[in-house]
Chain A
């Protein structure tokens, strides 16, 4: 009899426990609200966005390209048409709209290479950077000034005037050399007649006069 009574009390306790668990499970309903809150915290995103560390200058990129630095990928976030018209050497095209696609993720979400975003200026590249940064992708950079700045500094560098400091002239020569690497030709640098004919020295004609032999003497 005693056993039966204790069993009854225990069964009641189970019911209460089960009820509490069910109520706690109801908390799961709150979860979908936080599902939209993917990625890093807003405060962290803002802190990252303020830092100018993400910007990389055109000169640096030119230097890396010329030295065939294998550690980075250039990502053109413009439309396909502008990409086909002109883009940086070896760049891959991921239009801004497709930046979060699964195929793009393979390029962007990896630790092997630095990813350098660029567009016409750095507006769309920054947008791509912000979204990928929120998803906590690593090693993301933005080309400061984009293609427009690339044209102004590397492809068509402004010629310094003579009163400018030496650094400006050195920078110009470096940029000019870089632009030649990327296909620009300068009239003063093109050798129009690379093989100059070597002047052959006129042959000296040496006429050897025969000496008249003296008549050999008789006796």
Chain B
């Protein structure tokens, strides 16, 4: 009799367990958007790949221009044939459908903002979501007499040699005078590397 009771308990427990798992599965909500690339691959791709389009090459039939500025700015002036997708609304269904359709058609979406830095964030979000048909426009937008002027711009170029400038200024001021450059006290930051966590889980 004891044996039978034990067996009954076990079966009750396992039925409950299976029920819980099934409830968990049913209530599990699939996230709407999931990243397709992890950070390591993204980093590798963005540091090796080339993602810039020059303003002169925009006529290519394969390019679809996308303006990520606000609708207000878009109405003030925008590039020809551009579609306005404001950054905060980037992940709306309609916009994602548009990006999907571009991807299916084999077209390349060229993002632009007031400058390439502005378009960088939406670019990276979309890129990590798996849209690999993206480019950035290497240009800046200005207004001149109520007209939108687009000028090409270089990204991450060093505009001045700061070290040389400082040296030159010291030389110009007085060759003889000894100038005490007060350098801030070297701050020593010791950050202890975090211990690698053991792999969790597993039975």
The answer to whether A and B interact is yes
Interface, chain A (partner B; CB < 8 A): 6, 10, 13-14, 17, 20-21, 24, 27, 34-39, 41-43, 45-47, 49-50, 65-66, 68, 70, 73, 78, 82, 85-86, 89-90, 92, 96-97, 99-100, 102-103, 105-107, 109-110, 112-113, 119-124, 126-127, 130-131, 134-135, 147-148, 150-152, 155-156, 181-187, 189-192
The answer on a CB contact under 8 Å between A70 and B191 is no
A123, B158: Cα distance in complex, Å: 12
For residues 1 through 60 of chain B, which have their beta carbon under 8 Å from a beta carbon of chain A?
4, 7, 11, 14-15, 18, 21, 25, 31-40, 42-43, 46-47
With most chain B CB atoms within 10 A of its CB, the pick from A24, A41, A42, A107 is A42
Partner of A147, one of B42, B162, B179: B162
A182, B184: Cα distance in complex, Å: 9
CB-CB < 8 A to B21: which residues of A?
Answer: 24
Given contacts A17-B14, A105-B193, A121-B117, whether A38 and B38 have CB atoms under 8 Å apart is: yes
Q: Residue B148 at the A interface, CB < 8 A?
A: no
The answer on a CB contact under 8 Å between B117 and A122 is yes
Least Cβ distance of A170 to chain B in Å?
A: 22
The answer on a CB contact under 8 Å between A46 and B87 is yes
Residues of B in contact (CB 8 Å), total 67
A155, B160: Cα distance in complex, Å: 11
Partner of A120, one of B40, B125, B156, B191: B156
Residue of A nearest to B39 (CB): A131
Given contacts A39-B35, A70-B187, A112-B191, whether A151 and B125 have CB atoms under 8 Å apart is: no
Q: Residue B199 at the A interface, CB < 8 A?
A: no
With most chain B CB atoms within 10 A of its CB, the pick from A17, A82, A92, A119 is A17
Compute the total of residue contacts between A and B using a CB distance below 8 Å.
186
The answer on a CB contact under 8 Å between A187 and B25 is no
The answer on a CB contact under 8 Å between A106 and B194 is yes
For residues 183 through 203 of chain B, which have their beta carbon under 8 Å from a beta carbon of chain A?
183-187, 189, 191-194, 196
A-B contact pairs, 5 of them (CB 8 A): A92-B189, A122-B117, A130-B124, A184-B166, A187-B173
The answer on a CB contact under 8 Å between A126 and B117 is yes
6 residue pairs, one from A and one from B, having the closest CB atoms: A49-B121, A86-B163, A106-B193, A185-B173, A42-B33, A86-B162
Q: Residue B172 at the A interface, CB < 8 A?
A: yes
CB-CB < 8 A to A124: which residues of B?
Answer: 156
A99, B7: Cα distance in complex, Å: 56
CB-CB < 8 A to B143: which residues of A?
Answer: none
CB-CB < 8 A to A100: which residues of B?
Answer: 39-40, 43
CB-CB < 8 A to B102: which residues of A?
Answer: none
